[in-house]
Structure formats: C-alpha cells, structure tokens
Amino acid sequence: MKLSIFFPGIRPENWLALYNSIPNATTIAESDYELVIVSPHDLPTELTGKPNVRLIKDWGSPSRCTQLGLLYSRGEHVIWVADDGILCPGLAVDRAFEVIPKHKKGVVTFKYLEGSYGKESTEQQSADTWWRLGTHPFFRASPYVPNHYFLVMTALMRRDYLMEIGGWDCGFEQLGIGCPDLSIRLQNDGAEVVMGEMFIHVTHSPGTEGDHGPVVEAHMQNDNPYFISIYNNPASANRARIDFDNWKQTEEVWSRRFTTDKQRKV
C-alpha cells in the first residue's frame, strides 16, 4: 500500500466529509491508500464496510491515539491529519510525492489553514517563512530550538523512518506542541524537510468551547510547561530519537476528556 492517512478521532460527524475530500489531494487509487481512525467512537454508517477505512479503538490522549495510528498503518508513506478538517483542492499529496527527497529521511511538510481567515491572512500563511519555528515567539523563547527549522504539523514521510525516530513524545498530550517537538527531533536527526502546498483546512474556530476545551487545557497545563522544561535544558540540543513505545506510559483513558468509566465528560 502506498499511503496511510490517520488521525485521532473525537468528531465522528466530520469523518465522512474528510474521507470524501481525499480525492481533492491525490489521484492515488482507493485500493492504494487507507484512512486509519483511532477513536473510542464507532464509525458512522456511511464509512462502515469501506475496505480502505479502519477503526482502532482507544480512549487515550490525542498524541497517544496518533502514535497508535502510526503503529497500525500499513502504507509505505504516511500523513497525519485532524478530524475537524477537509483536504484542500489542488492535489497537494501528488505534488508532495513529486518533490519529496528521494531518501529515507525525506519529509514534505504541508501548510494548513485553521478557522476562518481573510485573504491577507491566507496569503501570509501561504508564505514559506510562516512555517519556520523562528516565526513563533513561544518556540523562539527556548534557547535550544533552532529558529530556521521548518514546522512540521502535518506531513508526508516514510512510515518506517517516523517509527524509527520514535514518532511522537506522548508526554505531550496533544499535537499542538507535540508536533513542534517532532519537528525539532526530525531535523536534529538529519531529516531533509521541504515545504509543500496548502493541504488541509481545519474548520473549527480556536477556543475553549465545546469539545476543543480539553485540548486547550492540555496545551496550557501540561504541554507548554513540558516543552519549556525540555528545551531550556542544554541536553535537548541534540534531542532526536526516542522510544516509540513511550505511548504505553500514558493514560489509557484520557482523564481530561473522559471519566474512568469511559463516558464523555459533560
């Protein structure tokens, strides 16, 4: 199989739209790609029985579920996404396969839009310079974050290499900071990262309301302090490969979102 696309799933009502948008991004045949969803929820009826859609049941944090998505993927190459997004028209995946460096550590990092943006903001985020770690004050404030590194929030890369580097540090509960950490580790390890095209429009409006609340809470209470503790330490200067099985040390039931009896918090 050529490609696996995977995500941690909390919004089943969005999954069909995401699945139906995949042809916006690639001409790869349905038989040669799969969508892997890691979630406590069941598949919606419209996706049940589709041969290229698989569901892995897990109640953990977004980072843990993303790590499991990688573990259970079968494609030679992988892309991870958010389940509140729709892939943009323009065949960004096909073009990424054209430009990806032809070696194991080649990575194409994609651009994305979040929420509703006007023309000026869209143009700004289309610029390659927007996707450098040095453009973000939070990361620039840590002395062992190379400012010129590309930000890798969603990307096309080889599955075997992403597993070798350890995937995500699931000490970060969600991907907003977990992916910048991955970005640094990849490039510290010698990955060749090139800039891809606009790939996904994440349609939620950032904020603390509704089901996004636990993610914001994790970001502020756990992930920001964890990032600072790592990248204010000289030992992080060469931080690269970690143990892939680090996900086993995380909560099996993510307490920020679920109670111990696996019921959705209200």
Note the pLDDT of residue 211: 73
Q: In this structure, is residue 264 part of a structural domain? A: no
Q: How many CA atoms lie within 13 A of 89 on its CB side?
A: 0
Instruction: Tell me the per-residue pLDDT of 5-26, one tens digit each, with 9 for 90 and over.
Output: 999 999 999 999 999 999 999 9
Q: Residues 201-227: what's their mean pLDDT?
A: 81
With pLDDT > 90 as the criterion, what percentage of the chain qualifies? 81
Q: Residues 109-138: what's their mean pLDDT?
A: 78
Note the pLDDT of residue 118: 52
Q: In this structure, is residue 261 part of a structural domain? A: no
Which of 57-66, 209-218, 251-260 has the highest average model confidence (pLDDT)?
57-66
Note the pLDDT of residue 266: 37
Structural domain for 97, as ranges: 3-249
Note the pLDDT of residue 39: 97
Q: In this structure, is residue 254 part of a structural domain? A: no
237 three-class SS: helix
**Position 207 pLDDT exceeds 60:** no
Q: For residue 177, what are its two tokens?
A: 């900071």
Q: Residues 60-77: what's their mean pLDDT?
A: 98
Give the strand pairing for 106-114 and 192-202: parallel
57 three-class SS: strand
Higher per-residue confidence, 202 vs 90: 90
Instruction: Tell me the per-residue pLDDT of 136-164, one tens digit each, with 9 for 90 and over.
Output: 877 877 889 999 999 999 999 999 999 99
Note the pLDDT of residue 208: 44
How many domains are there within the chain?
1
**Position 102 pLDDT exceeds 90:** yes
Strand partners, 192: 106
Q: In this structure, is residue 266 part of a structural domain? A: no
Note the pLDDT of residue 231: 95
Q: In this structure, is residue 92 part of a structural domain? A: yes
Q: In this structure, is residue 16 part of a structural domain? A: yes
- Mean pLDDT score of the chain, rounded to an integer? 92
Cβ density class 221-248: b for 16+ within 10 Å, e for less: ebbeebbeebbeeeebeebeebebebbe
Q: In this structure, is residue 44 part of a structural domain? A: yes
Higher per-residue confidence, 7 vs 118: 7
224: domain CATH number is 3.90.550.10
Q: In this structure, is residue 258 part of a structural domain? A: no
Q: For residue 240, what are its two tokens?
A: 């690269």
Q: How far is CA 196 from CA 54, 100, 150, 180, in A?
A: 27, 9, 11, 17
